[in-house]
Structure 1
Amino acid sequence: MKPVKIKFGTDGWRAIIAQEYTVDNVKRVAEGTALWLKQNGGTRVVIGYDCRFGGELFTETTARVFGKHGITSLVAPGYISTPMVSLGVVKTGADLGVVITASHNPASYNGYKLKSKLGGPSVPADVTAVENLIPDAVPEDLPTYAELKEKGLVEEHDFEKIYIDHVHQGFDVDLIRNSGIGIAYDAMYGAGQSAMMKLLPEATHLHCEVNPSFNGQAPEPIGRNLTELSEVIKNNPKLDLGIANDGDADRIGLFDADGDFVDSHHILLLLLMYQYEYKGIKKGEVILTFSVTDKLKQLAEQYGLEYEVTKIGFKYIAEIMAERDVIVGGEESGGLAVSGHIPERDGIWIGLMIAEYMAKTGKSLKDLIKEIYAKVGSFNCNRDDVHVDNDRKWEIVKQAKENPFKTVGPYQVTDVKHIDGTKFYLDGDDKWLMVRPSGTEPVLRVYAQGADEAEVRKILDAGRAEMGI
């Protein structure tokens, strides 16, 4: 039987456990990684796993392949978040990080992410180089995990403690804990649970236990997946802030004191405002992916800061952060990063920064958002993921690029931009519709920005009618 061709997507390799994600295929991916490391003089790798099924097994499997090549694996005594792996690479001076995770995907998936020595996603060229070295044959005659431990080719490090110590250096955790701000934290059964229970023991903790099925809910921190957290906040007047993380705790979901979801567009604006106006960070760039609100560009301009719009995928932001001074970088799907930390998405770090912002100013999240609106105007954003067959998907994408709409429902198209998909500006700059294909599924992502929720819905519906979906 011909072996499966293993392809890395926008954020690593992901596949269904026991279908394509098998011990043998993990051995093959690890072999490609080991060969790439040896070509580049690498000898030490941090390997971490989250709370998914088989994490420890797949970590040991990876370490056994590395050990055969004389590469030392640095592992944690239990599950850890993706940012803990990335920070661990930097703090130990390792050459690479490997995370056994499928991030926010459903429980049936696991995956394999690569992290660079700079503490963020490996650059696309390195990922492609590893992918090209993955053999068809499964590596055999591997040493046992116990043998590697005896030889010193497996070292145990407490990466969670390293991370928590780093948090205490970056934040006034005591101020947050003593501020009187009531915080509810939803781990979504993911790898952020242990650290957050230690950092904020007085918080209300939801789903902070290991459940590899995630109780049947994909651990993606978006509004519709977090209704329980929203209700808990609504029903408890002492709660002012809700923080949720995905399965490997690199993404964030946020709620205000009314239990209303605060999306990444608003969080990015808050992060920029806090750092520029309150922390006095006046230098650096703002990096945003194509689907993020243009209000972020507007605020950067007000502050006299340079900005750049990238393709969608955090790896493009990380690549820039590794080389240039970036105040804030982020994407619409909850992956956000700030200066003073590693060039990595980190849901715990971002949640603590918002909590610290509230604690230092004594203002509610709603009040802080009102301050943003006073600067750039109020707005709302949303996205529909529309299932269409692949042929139709690419037909719509081609039409949007080659023969763009002149109108969308009652709106005039005043400008069109193509970076990663197509963005149609409607009646000026404040309203837009964007369409982009999923690279891995028969799905079209349709995004919109408008003045409020009702207008966004109207734009999305008009755009879908125009596309016939």
Structure 2
Amino acid sequence: MALFGTDGVRGLANGPLTADLALTLAQATAVVLGQGRIASARKAAGKRLTAVVARDPRVSGEFLTAAVAAGLASSGVDVLDAGVIPTPAAAFLIADIDADFGVMISASHNPAPDNGIKIFARGGVKLPDVVEERIEQAMSGEKLLPTGGGVGRIRRFSDAEDRYAIHLLSTLPHRLEGLHVVLDCAHGAASGVSPETFRDAGAKVTLIGADPDGININDGVGSTHLDRLAAEVIRTGADVGIAHDGDADRCLAVDADGNVVDGDQIMAILAVSMKERGVLRSDTLVATVMSNLGLHRAMADHGIAVETTAVGDRYVLERMNEGRFSLGGEQSGHVIMSRYATTGDGVLTGLHLVAEMARTGKSLAELASVMTVFPQSLVNVRGVERSRATDPDVQDAVARATASLGLSGRVLLRPSGTEPMIRVMVEAGTADEAQRIADELAEVVRG
């Protein structure tokens, strides 16, 4: 089974994800990413490579960071330890200081016992599959293991958070004075920098989920648990609520009445704004196959094309890079603004969403009304192989359902990439109709 998943290496800390694995993975990363043209030239000039290492606040991140740093330093790589910062901050810093690569220790929105290792190449970009495969192969090969002065140093990246905050503020098209924002930081990596940056941008800030203790990350708070944020927005009379996940590469929102504004709606708001301001490249948005039909309709109404990719922010980013597009993302809240970031950035997205409220003088509910959300039902059919999705009986049922929906909905069958399961997604004019058709198709898939 492949070590790397859709977003790095992830698993139960001290289960499959041990300190030994982290150290060996770091050593293999130094071997593979030290072979590039620029890295080879630096080594030929007698210079050591440099890597940024960061983590979210879950307790296992402490020993995993130590193991990664040890693996890199023992391979002759100088390590800058940025401490607890968001994943997009780590990506930004790699590019900002021209580091050779970087490693983020985080399991994103997963519960505290899990952890993960995400590797970024030069420029703060995620690795393509082929490079991940080479790293995995290198784990059983020879290590670098220099001696004497060739051993890498480990130093604290003392101004990491400040550099990132200054960068975020420099991107804003409008300040946030006059707006009251409730921030839910998921007891995660953004608990320090997100409140600081929103306040520096002029907003009044109320905080929840901003007291990480190493084990409470994502525990009933953050972008996967929006009830508490909605209640706090209503209780305080705030204008908007912004929710991050554990490593702050996601952003979801709630309006002043506590209604959820998801990633599709956020992308719709930002796309329309960017087109109006002449900064939406090629008047195009990149989204995944899971994005709501309402997003496609809204973009068509505003003369904005939608490019569609497989699920996963890495695939969104690949298409954005290919087409040189400036905005893309996922319904889950991964939003990529390529002018300012190389990956989904929840703090950046939240700032720009609230800045659009300030620029237009409109409430979030008014801005979100640009898009009508089609009711969506998702049924996970477990215990079936991927090939079942292409079975003639299943395909015939999908065709019949699609014909019955006409222009008022759609059907999507998507095999899981990690387990024997097929996801059945149906959008329709009503929630009842979507659920009925999804259940009927799920029964056909079960066979």
- Do these two structures clear the TM 0.5 threshold for a shared fold by scoring above it? yes
Show the counterpart of 1:258.
257
Q: How large is the Cα RMSD of the aligned pairs?
A: 3.0
Q: In 2, distance between residues paired with 1:437 and 1:406? A: 14
Per-residue Cα deviation, 1:369-415 (whole angstroms, up to 9, x for no partner): 22x14xxxx233445353622xx24354232797331566xxx423x
Corresponding position: 1:57 with 2:56:
no
Cα distance between partner residues in 2 of 1:395 and 1:220: 35
CA–CA separation in structure 2 for the residues paired with 1:400 and 1:185: 48
Give the C-alpha shift of residue 219 in structure 1: 6.5
Deviation at 1:230, TM superposition (A): 1.7
Is residue 27 from structure 1 mapped to residue 23 from structure 2 by the alignment?
yes
1:231 matches 2:237: no
Q: Which residue of 2 aligns with 1:403?
A: 395
Task: Give, as a single letter, the amino acid of the residue that structure 2 aligns with 1:22.
Answer: T
**Distance apart, 1:285 and its partner CA:** 3.1
How much does 1:156 deviate? 2.2
1:320 aligns with 2:314: no
Residues of 2 paired with 1:327 and 1:134: CA distance?
36
For structure 1, the residue ranges without an aligned partner over 5 or more in a row are 415-425
In 2, Cα distance between equivalents of 1:81 and 1:101: 9
Which consecutive residues of structure 2, in runs of 5 or more, have no partner in the other structure? 40-48
When residues 148 and 40 of structure 1 are mapped into structure 2, their CA distance, relative to the original with a 3 A threshold, is closer
Task: Please tell me the residue identity of whatever aligns with 1:364.
Answer: S
CA contact (8 A) 2:377 2:427 kept: no
Return the TM-score normalized by structure 1.
Answer: 0.83
- The alpha carbon displacement at 1:140 in A equals 11
Instruction: Tell me how far apart the structure 2 counterparts of residues 194 and 287 of structure 1 sit (CA, whole Å).
Output: 30
User: Which of 97, 101, 105 is 1:100 aligned to?
Assistant: 105
Deviating beyond 6 angstroms after TM superposition, the runs of 4 or more aligned structure 1 residues are 139-144
- The CA distance in 2 between the partners of 1:29 and 1:460, in whole Å, is 42
Identity over aligned pairs, percent? 26
Alpha carbons of structure 1 residues 379 and 156: separation in structure 2 relative to 1, 3 Å = closer
- The 1:413/1:449 distance shift into structure 2, 3 A limit, reads closer
Q: Where do 1:47-446 residues align within 5 Å?
A: 47-76=53-82, 78-135=83-140, 152-154=153-155, 156-171=157-172, 175-176=175-176, 178-179=177-178, 181-201=179-199, 202-214=204-216, 217=219, 221-222=223-224, 225-236=225-236, 238-278=237-277, 281=280, 283-370=282-369, 372-373=370-371, 378-384=372-378, 386=380, 388-389=382-383, 392-394=384-386, 396-399=388-391, 403-405=395-397, 412-414=401-403, 426-446=404-424
- The AA in structure 2 aligned to 1:286 is L
Aligned-partner SS, 1:340? coil
Q: 1:440 corresponds to which letter in structure 2?
A: T
Bigger shift: residues 208-217 or 85-94: 208-217
How far off its partner does 1:191 sit?
A: 0.5
Q: Report the CA distance shift for 1:136/1:37 in structure 2 as closer, same or farther (over 3 A).
A: closer
Partner of 2:417, secondary structure, is coil
2:326 partner SS: strand
Q: Distance in 2 between matches of 1:216 and 1:98?
A: 21
Partner of 1:421: none
Shift of 1:365: 1.3
Q: Name the CA distance, whole Å, in 2 between partners of 1:293 and 1:119.
A: 29
Would you say the 8 A contact 1:337–1:345 is kept in 2? yes
2:46 match: none
Alpha-carbon contact 1:185-1:204 (below 8 Å) kept:
yes
Structure 2 contact 110–218 (Cα < 8 Å) conserved: no
Report how far residue 211 of structure 1 moved: 2.9
Aligned residues between the structures: 433
CA distance in 2, matches of 1:215, 1:190: 5
- SS of equivalent residue, structure 1 residue 248: coil
CA contact (8 A) 1:188 1:244 kept: yes
User: Which residue type is aligned with residue 247 of structure 2?
Assistant: D
Name the CA distance, whole Å, in 2 between partners of 1:215 and 1:105: 8
Determine the C-alpha separation between the residues in 2 that align with 1:356 and 1:10: 32
Structure 2 letter corresponding to 1:91: D
Query: Partner of 1:413: helix, strand, or coil?
Result: helix
The DSSP-based 3-state class of the residue aligned with 2:342 is coil
- Kept in 1, the 8 Å contact 2:281–2:324? The answer is no
Question: How far 1:465 sits from its partner (Å)?
Answer: 4.1
Deviations along 1:328-377, one digit per CA (max 9) or x if unpaired, are: 1112222111242122101111111110111111111111122x14xxxx
C-alpha displacement at 1:12, in angstroms?
Answer: 0.5
Distance in 2 (CA, whole Å) between partners of 1:401 and 1:299 is 34
Offset at residue 14 of structure 1 (A): 0.4
Report the equivalent of 1:422. none
Separation in structure 2 between the aligned mates of residue 271 and residue 400 of structure 1, nearest angstrom: 41
SS in 1 for 2:357: helix
Structure 1 SS opposite 2:66: helix
Query: In the alignment, residue 81 of structure 1 is paired with which amino acid?
Result: P
Aligned position for 1:460: 438
Cα distance in 2, alignment partners of residues 220 and 232 from structure 1: 13
Q: Corresponding residue for 1:10?
A: 6
Matched to 1:239, the amino acid is A
- SS of residue paired to 2:124: coil
For 2:54 and 2:392, the matched residues in 1 are separated by 41
- What is the CA deviation profile of residues 124-151 of structure 1, one whole-angstrom value per residue up to 9, with x for unaligned ones? 22222222212289x798999xx999x7
